[in-house]
Amino acid sequence: MNKPAIDIKNLSKTYTNGTKALENINLEVKSGDFFALLGANGAGKTTIINILTSLVTKTEGSVKVFGHNLDTELNAVKNSIGVVPQEFNFNIFEKVFNIVVRQGGYYGMDEKDAIAKTEEVLKKLELWDKKDVVSQSLSGGMKRRLMIARALIHSPKLLILDEPTAGVDAELRKGMWEYLIELNKSGTTILLTTHYLEEVEELCKNAAMIKKGQIILNDSVKNLLTKIDGEIYVVETNKSINKDVIKKLGINKVDDNLYEINVSKKKPLQSVISQITKDKLEIISIKPKGNRIENLFLSIIKK
């Protein structure tokens, strides 16, 4: 049996200013998994990642990466992880090529090997034509891809990405997803955090949700999605919806002729529409409201 890529037991973190960021976290990510770590802002996702990558010290608990203990086999842990942090952390005056080659050097690679691998990853991430550009003049999405390239320089077995697609446009995001899927298929375990449910659906096999430093849910993405109890739609009409219908369906009036309607299994879209259009009312537009992952939180937290 393969050892789990990540094995976290009773992990707690209290920052020096007294903030309790993590409380007794238990988390296992299997080798080969594509795992999503979800949670609202400030939930503790980055703290977990920073502990795994030794940027933050843990207060309590044990952490193992592919069976290597963080406390006693730090180098083995570091060699198996490549990390793409949430915030840009490269020298903005340095050229793209140098940033990636140097990272290889820090992992002890020979310069020749580091240069060859740099070419490979920069081409994969469509940054090769930017290799001689100073990093501060890259666009936001390119900067993020630069950090992905840098994280892959030493061919890590575990790739950790902290909100990798923040600020990346739709087309590039698709390309990035494909690349991540390819990496995962070739055996790289991937852990990512995200605020987009689409990303989880598209990429991940398993997911955990963290709230105020505690894991509140840990399941397969398939099971998780079935827990989404409905979705909120914003509906614009040409005149006011009948008061009785509003009451009956629990519709939330936002503005004149603008409503929010919760559509769930008990109240499917078809029946909702037929009820509000009963008295010659026309629907001008209908669209899902906001971020589905937030809806997922709301429905889970309510339970």
Partner 1 sequence: MNNKQIFNSFLTLSKKEINRILRIWTQTLLPPVITQSLYFIIFGSFIGSRIGNIGDVSYIAFIIPGLIMMSVINGAFGNVVSSFFTSKFMKDIQEIQVSPTPNWVITLGYISGGVFRGLLVGLIVFLVSFFFENPQVDNPLIIALFVFLTSVVFSLGGFINGIFAKKFDDAQIFPVFVLTPLTYLGGVFYSIEQLPEFWQGVSKLNPVLYMVNGFRYGFYSESDVNIWFSFGVLLGFTVFLAFLAQYLLNKGVGMRE
Ligand X SMILES: Nc1ncnc2c1ncn2[C@@H]1O[C@H](COP(=O)(O)OP(=O)(O)OP(=O)(O)O)[C@@H](O)[C@H]1O
Q: What residue ranges bind ligand X (CB under 6 A)?
A: 15, 17, 19, 21, 39, 41-47, 86
**Residue 161 Cβ, how far from Mg ion at the closest point, in Å?**
11
Helix-helix angle 111-124:96-106, to 10 degrees = 130
Pick the binder of Mg ion from 21, 43, 46, 241 (CB under 5 A): 46
**Residue 60 Cβ, how far from ligand X at the closest point, in Å?**
15
- Which residues have CB under 8 Å from 165's CB, separation 6+? 144, 173, 176, 194, 196, 199
Based on CB atoms, which residue is closest to partner 1, 55 or 301?
A: 55
56 binds partner 1 (CB under 8 A): yes
The count of other CB atoms within 10 Å of the CB of residue 260 is 14
Residue 186 binds what, of Mg ion, ligand X, partner 1, none (CB under 5 to 8 Å, by partner type)?
Answer: none
Q: Using an 8 Å Cβ cutoff, are 159 and 176 in contact?
A: no
x-marked contacts with partner 1 along 10-29 as a string, rule CB under 8 A: -----xx-------------
Stretch of 2-10, 96-104, 190-198, 266-274 lying at the interface with partner 1 (CB under 8 A): 96-104
173 binds partner 1 (CB under 8 A): no
Stretch of 50-58, 215-223, 225-233, 246-254 lying at the interface with partner 1 (CB under 8 A): 50-58
The rounded distance, in Å, linking the Cα atoms of 97 and 89 is 15
Q: For residue 279, which phi and psi values (nearest 5 degrees)?
A: -100, 70
Q: Using an 8 Å Cβ cutoff, are 97 and 122 in contact?
A: yes
Q: Using an 8 Å Cβ cutoff, are 23 and 214 in contact?
A: yes
**Residue 162 Cβ, how far from Mg ion at the closest point, in Å?**
6
Pick the binder of partner 1 from 20, 42, 60, 110 (CB under 8 A): 110
Q: Using an 8 Å Cβ cutoff, are 138 and 168 in contact?
A: no
The rounded distance, in Å, linking the Cα atoms of 205 and 243 is 44
92 binds partner 1 (CB under 8 A): yes
Which residues of this chain interact with Mg ion, rule CB under 5 A? 45-46, 86
